[in-house]
Amino acid sequence: MEEINIAIVGGGPSGLQAAISLASKGHSPTVFEEHPTIGQPIQCGEGISLNALKEFNLDQKSKLFCVKEYESCKLYLPSNDVIIGDIHSYSINRDIFDQHLAKEAQRAGAEIKLSTKIDGVQRKGESIIIKTSSEKKHDYKCEMLILAEGPQARLASKLGFSPPSPLISAFEYKIEGEWGDALEFYFDKEKYPFGYCWVFPKKGETNVGIVTTAKERKGRLDKFLEEKKITGNIIKKVGGQIPMNGPSSKLYDKRIMLVGDTAGMVNPIFYGGIRLAMLSGKIAGEVAATNLERKGNGLSSSCKEYESRLKKYDFMKKVNIKCHNSFYGFSNKSLSKIGAVFNNRYINRIEKLEKLEVFWKILKNPSLSRKIKGLYYMYRGFKIARDWGF
């Protein structure tokens, strides 16, 4: 059995960012990734906000992986009214983005073991044993474990954590040609319940996808392409799942932390998860580093700080789930009325006088004024999503 001080399972943004944090504090984490190449297969719309890049000083490196820049995103309602979100954002090459994080982690001193799937995990006294899949048959003994294994959270379940449930399914086409002029989201409660279709143009190609709890996602996406007259050749099909109800209630246990999708670290309104994956990974890495240092000095250690630091952020607030429930609970009729009030406005930039005008329009409309609480949650949740990126 090989001894390592800290194991990170999963080489996505959360695991790689945890590795960067630990390695840049002088530790030697080992990242286990089941695929032979970091960042592949890509399962992503490849949209990210400038705020997210800035938080990790990646805005300086944006040329490496950003392919298109947008000043705002557009949210289309069933009536075709559009709410504008002033989220400065980019479409990226997600594989190159993840590979950049991997290089940073390696440069700082982390080891990345590719084509290495971890199948088993168990606690043994003060240590944790992880086992690779049957072909490789190799066991590792570690002092701490960070689980960054994505939404399925199989190892987390084996250790008694609840999986980040429920998961919502997404399906995407990569299509030849540039369709659309912003990161576009199309909401329709009947066609795409609890979700939306997206059009994220890149250079020479566009990601067009659907996320919804409804079945027959491919058929719905095909219909969307037909309606929007998007006729480019389909280059690739991509599918995946996303935790839909935000951060899980249990994020750590003795010597173990869950990060990224494994911990439900996804914005429950637009289902974007790259930024929260990286933030949770960064904090988990820092807490693990402190714990290893304390242990080296004969002091006790705990992962509680991971949760308490995360809880200071807006995205952990219950208002996000309330926004999710209210917004996805609105009928198409209500969504269209909301569209008529907000049409062509920047929802997050409503100035004082405009706020009064919007409020007055809502009050004058009895079916909307009855939903004033839901509209308030929607406003708060959208504001947080604006700051956080989707």
Ligand X SMILES: Cc1cc2nc3c(=O)[nH]c(=O)nc-3n(C[C@H](O)[C@H](O)[C@H](O)COP(=O)(O)OP(=O)(O)OC[C@H]3O[C@@H](n4cnc5c(N)ncnc54)[C@H](O)[C@@H]3O)c2cc1C
Q: Which residues contact 42 (CB under 8 A, 6 or more apart)?
A: 94, 95, 238
Nearer to ligand X, 53 or 362 (CB): 53
Nearer to ligand X, 115 or 332 (CB): 115
Range in contact with ligand X (rule: CB under 6 A) among 71-79, 103-111, 238-246, 289-297: 238-246
Q: Which residues contact 204 (CB under 8 A, 6 or more apart)?
A: 176, 177, 178
Nearest distance from C-beta of residue 271 to ligand X, angstroms: 6
* The dihedral formed by the CA atoms of 280, 282, 286 and 287, expressed in degrees to the nearest 10: 10
Select the residue interacting with ligand X from 77, 145, 242, 279 (CB under 6 A): 242
* 277 contacts ligand X (rule: CB under 6 A): yes
Question: Are residues 263 and 280 in contact, defined by beta-carbon separation less than 8 angstroms?
Answer: yes
Tokens found for residue 98? 């993840």
Range in contact with ligand X (rule: CB under 6 A) among 149-157, 227-235, 315-323, 337-345: 149-157
Nearer to ligand X, 112 or 292 (CB): 112
Give the residue among 127, 278, 164, 21 at the shortest CA–CA distance from 156: 164
The mark string for 294-323 relative to ligand X (x by CB under 6 A, - otherwise) is: ------------------------------
Nearest-angstrom CA–CA distance, 206 and 34? 28
The mark string for 112-131 relative to ligand X (x by CB under 6 A, - otherwise) is: -----xx-------------
Nearer to ligand X, 197 or 242 (CB): 242
Q: In what order do the strands lie in the sheet with 196-201?
A: 82-85, 73-76, 183-186, 196-201, 205-212, 167-176, 234-243
Burial of 36 from C-beta contacts in 10 A (0-12 / 13-18 / 19+): exposed
* 384 contacts ligand X (rule: CB under 6 A): no
Question: Residue 122 CB: number of other CB atoms within 10 A?
Answer: 12
Select the residue interacting with ligand X from 18, 19, 44, 53 (CB under 6 A): 44
Nearer to ligand X, 85 or 339 (CB): 85
In this structure, the strands spanning 82-85 and 47-49 are unpaired
Select the residue interacting with ligand X from 114, 238, 316, 321 (CB under 6 A): 238
Nearest-angstrom CA–CA distance, 213 and 77? 18
Select the residue interacting with ligand X from 58, 175, 182, 274 (CB under 6 A): 274
Nearer to ligand X, 246 or 273 (CB): 273
* 164 contacts ligand X (rule: CB under 6 A): no
Nearest distance from C-beta of residue 126 to ligand X, angstroms: 23
Distance between alpha carbon 309 and the CA centroid of its chain, in Å?
Answer: 19
Scanning the structure block, which residue is given the tokens 């709410």?
Answer: 83
Select the residue interacting with ligand X from 273, 285, 339, 381 (CB under 6 A): 273
Nearest-angstrom CA–CA distance, 213 and 305? 35
Select the residue interacting with ligand X from 6, 9, 145, 303 (CB under 6 A): 9
* 47 contacts ligand X (rule: CB under 6 A): yes
* Sequential DSSP letters for 351-386: -HHHHHHHHHHHHH-HHHHTTHHHHHHHHHHHHHHH
Nearest distance from C-beta of residue 261 to ligand X, angstroms: 4
Scanning the structure block, which residue is given the tokens 């995407």?
Answer: 172
Nearest distance from C-beta of residue 235 to ligand X, angstroms: 15
Tokens found for residue 385? 């999503």
* 347 contacts ligand X (rule: CB under 6 A): no
**Which residues, numbered 244-263, are part of the site for ligand X (CB under 6 A)?**
260-261
Nearest distance from C-beta of residue 288 to ligand X, angstroms: 16
Q: In the complex, which residues of this chain contact ligand X (CB under 6 A)? A: 9-15, 32-35, 43-48, 117-118, 148-150, 155, 170, 172, 209, 238, 240, 242, 260-261, 266, 272-274, 277
